Amino acid sequence: MIPGNSVRFLAGNSHPELAQAVAERLNAPLTSCTVRKFSNGEIDVKIFESVRDEDVFILQSGCSDVNDNLMELLILISACKTASARRITAVIPCFPYARSDKKDKSRAPITAKLVANMLVVAGCDHVITMDLHASQIQGFFDIPVDNLYSEPMTIGYIKRHIAGWQEAVIVSPDAGGAKRVTAIADKLGVEFALIHRQRDKRSSDAPEHMELLVGDVRDKVAILVDDMIDTGTTLTLAARSLKENGAQKVYALISHGLLSEVQMSLIEELPLEQLIVTNTVPQNQHVEQCNKLVVMDISSTIAESIRRTHNGESISLLFGEWADGIGIGPF
């Protein structure tokens, strides 16, 4: 897609599989570099090819060892900047600290803003990310930010792989995801539902539960849609609540499958047909542990956004006819 000598594509250690998949789709080899740690924990970066006056893209996801991965990205950006790169684009499929996007209690840090400042100070000229936890994070930057969406993939997967989707209900597990869910429901021409997580205020030890606030899932296929799964608590409560409210089958489609504190054996026991996530973070280990886990490949979307950015083409067209025509499926 892009001649190898017109763009430099680098990657840190966060997600080598995705980096290689994107490079193959771009027909541009990964620029040779090493990112390693000294014995005292400091990070050392060496780039073995010239990036002078080149259009540089650096892929690094905010997953696993988040702080190390963020520091790797900052040092790679700084190294390219001091090596006279013409433009540096940070490709961050899963944006680190995205949940710290507002001051929701006294003395709480807005860490997403801090990360934005660090990227700019390091020398970043442009950011490409996917499914930000809150869209206003784009406003933390004084440089262009392209927030890609997995929505076309989600809709494509539902149409291709979920039987009876025409009578399904798209469900948000919290009020914050209502906008995302209603947009998908409208495009599919189906109903939506909203469930709310709460605890009995009369007792501090009372277990949490979920209550269906809007919509009816009885005798229907319920499709949970959310942007992130970390501990799995919300998914567990939501899946059980939907079954208790009469849902025929329950599916879950999640953008960022962090699964950092989830025992995959517990996912197997949930009243869930499938848990579908994207590969914005590595999923190889999780797939081996859970038969219900399905992974959607986002490398085509990332690669096409890089190609369009390099050629000065519109990114918004990614979510029109092009998105409808790409092959979407688990890998």
User: How far apart are the C-alpha atoms of 302 and 265, rounded to whole Å?
Assistant: 31
Provide, rounded to the nearest whole percent, the portion of the chain with pLDDT above 70.
92
pLDDT at 121: 98
pLDDT bin (cut points 50, 70, 90) of residue 317 is confident
Q: What is the pLDDT of residues 147-166, one digit of tens each?
A: 999 999 999 999 999 999 99
How many C-beta neighbours within 10 Å does residue 166 have? Answer: 11
pLDDT, averaged across the chain: 90
How many C-beta neighbours within 10 Å does residue 226 have? Answer: 22
331 vs 163, more confident: 163
pLDDT at 125: 98
197 vs 305, more confident: 305
Range scoring the smallest mean pLDDT among 85-89, 172-176, 185-189: 172-176
pLDDT at 55: 97
> Which residues in the chain belong to E strands, given as ranges?
8-11, 33-37, 43-47, 55-59, 87-92, 126-130, 145-148, 169-172, 191-199, 208-214, 221-229, 249-257, 274-278, 293-296
pLDDT at 260: 85
Which positions ≥6 away from 317 have C-beta within 8 Å?
308
pTM of the model: 0.92
- pLDDT of 140 > 80? The answer is yes
pLDDT bin (cut points 50, 70, 90) of residue 206 is low
Sheet architecture: strand order including 145-148? 8-11, 55-59, 87-92, 126-130, 145-148
Q: What is the mean pLDDT of residues 210-215?
A: 81
pLDDT at 201: 56
Range scoring the smallest mean pLDDT among 30-39, 114-123, 206-215: 206-215
Q: Identify the three-state secondary structure at position 88.
A: strand
pLDDT at 188: 95
pLDDT at 102: 93
User: How far apart are the C-alpha atoms of 222 and 302, rounded to whole Å?
Assistant: 29
Asked if residues 256 and 131 have their Cβ atoms less than 8 Å apart, the reply is yes
What are the chain's domains? 7-148+299-324 (3.40.50.2020), 151-198+209-296 (3.40.50.2020)
pLDDT bin (cut points 50, 70, 90) of residue 330 is very low
Q: How big, in percent rounded to 5, are the helix, strand and coil portions of the chain?
A: 35, 25, 40
Burial class of 225 by CB neighbour count within 10 A (0 to 12, 13 to 18, 19+):
buried
pLDDT bin (cut points 50, 70, 90) of residue 116 is very high
pLDDT at 203: 54
Only one residue has tokens 């291709």, namely 160
Q: What is the pLDDT of residues 71-100, one digit of tens each?
A: 999 999 999 999 999 999 999 999 999 999
Asked if residues 250 and 275 have their Cβ atoms less than 8 Å apart, the reply is no
Among 47-61, 190-204, 278-292, the range of highest mean pLDDT: 47-61
- pLDDT of 2 > 80? The answer is no
- pLDDT of 262 > 90? The answer is no
